[in-house]
Every structure is written in C-alpha cells, then in structure tokens.
Amino acid sequence: MYAIHAIDHDLWQITLPAPVFYPHLPAAHPCNVYLLAGSHAPTLINVGHPTQHLALTRALIDIGVHPERIERVITTGWSIHLMGNIQAFPHAELFLYSPVMTEPEDYNALVTQERAQWESIARELVEQHGYDQLCTLDELDQFFDAYFPPVASKLNYTPLKDGHHIRVGSRMLEVLHTPGPQPNHICLWEPHSKELFTGDITLDGLPYRLNEVHSYLSSQQRLIDLEPHTLYPNYGQIAQGKERAIQQVRRGQRFLNNFLTNATLTLHGAPSLIEFAEQDLGYKPAYVPRFALTLLTHQAFFEELVRARGIAAEGQGLNRRYGTDLEQAPVHQLARHSPALMPLKSDDL
C-alpha cells in the first residue's frame, strides 16, 4: 500500500511500498515521491522503481491528478530505484543531472553497471560464505532479473547542471549537485521558503546508498550551510522547522564521522568485510540481496579509511581484510588527510 501526505495545497508526499521479490522480502526501503501540482507544469520529483508503477498511479489518481497530466519529471539520480518507472510518463519532460550537458551514450549500460556491482557481492555471499542455505544462485538470478528489467538505451531528457533553476508547480527550484550517494546525485532547493528536497542524503543512520564517503560528507555540509527550514527526503519522515531540519542533517553527518572514527577501534585482528558486518549487526542476515547492499555501504567506508591511511587492507572482495597497523598513520591523523572527517566536539553531542 502507498501513503499520501498533503504538505501544502500544491505539494504532496507519496510514500511507495518497498519493492518485494522472491523470497517475498523487501529489496529496499519504502521511498518517497513528491508531487508539485501548482498552476505551472505539474511535476514529480522521482518516479520510483518499475515495480511501484501501480502504487504511484493509484496514489496520483487518489490525489486527483491523472498520470497523463504530469508535465515534468525530475529525478535526484540516475539509479533504477529513482527513475525506473519513467516509462509510465511518456508525455512528461524528463530532467536529469548531466555535468557535461549531454546524454549518456547508453543508459542501459549504466543500469547494467549498477546491477553488476550489487550482484557480484550477493553471488560471493552465496558461493563462498555459507549463505547458500538461504538463497541459491538461481534465486539470485531471479531477483536481479526482476529488479533490473530491460531499460531504454537512450533517454530523451533535458540536462541539468549545478546552479540551474527549474519551475515546478508553483515553485522555482535550484539544482544542487550533491555527490556521495551517486556521482550524479542532486538535491533541489527553494531559497525563499528554504525548502530542501534532500534526495538520497540520509538524515539518520547509515546511508541507504553510498558511492563515495568524502563527497557524501561534503554534500551534507553544503546542505547544513543552506540553513534549511524544511527537509523532504527520499526515505523517512519530513523534517520541519529550521532548528530540527539543520540538526537532522548534522546528526546524519555526526553519525558518519563517529562510524569512521570508531570503526578503526574495532578492527583489531583484521576482520573481513563480512565478519565486521555480521558482528556489527549482531546476527546473520537472512536476506542476501539486502545484506549485499549493506556490505557495499560498509565497503565504501573502509576504503575511505584505507585511502586516508587510517587502516591497512589486503585481499579482494568479501575476503579483503581491514585492520589497524602501526606502520600506517595513526587514527588522529585522519582529519589531516580527509578534511571532512573531523573529530566530534563536546558541543556537537
């Protein structure tokens, strides 16, 4: 089921259910789509995964906006979980971030690359690490074929760049390039009302999607510097009120800094990525595809610590081991190598 939240007379939040596949467990979290339906160009911010087509269509009809009336679609990234349902709006003008202002040579190739990164870890879990009793390779193939259906190689879209402004509904939004979840990730900012659509920048806990840690922390800081009054995330609850909104982004940033700082203290004995994740969770996860996404997030963190010379690493894949080494730079030098990784002060707590 979907949920509808009327935020304003011309703004709705639609929460779509998590995509569900074999063995009938969610592959991701429920996500938010935003409808801006003022007098000019009714617009959707994100359209969800292909499997969420029916839920989004019914939600729009319940609001009173037939899908054919949608004139514009903006997605906060290129991933299939944000724009895989774009074929449901063939008459809408599509806007996507493109730093070189040109179309990608092959969108299907980008989706294939996204699948390969996720699938390789999931297959390694099953083949080498005792998860074969929970999921077979054939079941993994079924899952990834369903989650990544064929998409168009070419997309007809209008490219966006950092600093561009675009009219959506009754609002004029500024495009903010905020890499970290993905290289082409954006947020959308309304400077007069100080409303901020935060995309895949997670407001609490570990990111749901993470491509590069340093960029992610820098993007969080950029959002904090805006001093927003309202946050509209792709996942989770809306944060309203200046103090609460700023604190939400700061809390997410502090969580990541704490994770990076404290992880080094738990890596004695050089655990592998999977050993650390299982210990951190406190149990052996039962759903392989979703656990593989968690491992990708942990892997990005550890590789940032290796880059910053906070820890050493050797090996490949899920057998790659991470640990402290006296020959490497001590933990307190992390901030020197990576400016965004600053130790917490007492007044930040």
Q: What is the per-residue pLDDT across 130-174, written as a single tens digit (0 to 9) for each?
A: 899 888 999 999 999 999 998 878 888 899 999 999 998 888 999
The closest of 128, 143, 140 to 274, measured between CA atoms, is: 128
Average pLDDT in the 78-100 region? 90
pLDDT the model gives residue 345:
34
pLDDT the model gives residue 273:
87
- Which has more confidence, 339 or 17? 17
> What 3 state SS string does 9-50 have?
CCEEEEEECCCEECCCEECCCCEEEEEECCCCCCEEECCCCH
> Does the pLDDT at position 256 exceed 90?
no
- The string of pLDDT tens digits covering residues 95-133 is 999 876 555 567 888 889 999 999 999 999 999 888 998
Contact 121, 292 (CB under 8 A): yes
Contact 229, 106 (CB under 8 A): no
Residue 37 CA, chain-centre distance (Å), reads 25
Which range scores top for mean pLDDT: 191-195, 243-247, 313-317? 191-195
Instruction: Name residue, tokens 């809408």.
Output: 92
> Does the pLDDT at position 38 exceed 80?
no
Q: What is the C-alpha separation between 317 and 260, in angstroms, rounded?
A: 20
Sheet holding 195-199, edge to edge: 165-168, 171-177, 186-190, 195-199, 230-233, 239-240
Residues with Cβ within 8 Å of residue 219, at least 6 apart in sequence: 178, 179, 180, 185, 187, 201
> Does the pLDDT at position 11 exceed 50?
yes
pLDDT the model gives residue 209:
85
HSE at residue 200, side-chain half, CA atoms within 13 A, is 30
Contact 216, 227 (CB under 8 A): no
Q: With 0-12 CB in 10 A as exposed, 13-18 as middle and 19+ as buried, what is 250?
A: middle
Average pLDDT in the 237-258 region? 90
Contact 32, 14 (CB under 8 A): yes
> What structural domains does the chain harbor?
3-103+155-259 (3.60.15.10), 107-147 (no CATH), 266-336 (no CATH)
| Single pTM value for the model | 0.88
Task: Determine the residue type at 286.
Answer: A
- The string of pLDDT tens digits covering residues 12-28 is 999 999 887 766 666 77
Residues with Cβ within 8 Å of residue 62, at least 6 apart in sequence: 4
Q: What is the CA radius of gyration of the chain?
A: 21
CA geometry: angle 317, 320, 324, nearest 5 deg: 150
> Does the pLDDT at position 202 exceed 60?
yes
pLDDT the model gives residue 219:
95
What residues pair up with 8 in beta bridges, in sequence order? 11
Torsion angle of the four alpha carbons 84, 88, 92, 94, in this order, in degrees rounded to the nearest 10:
10
> Does the pLDDT at position 346 exceed 70?
no
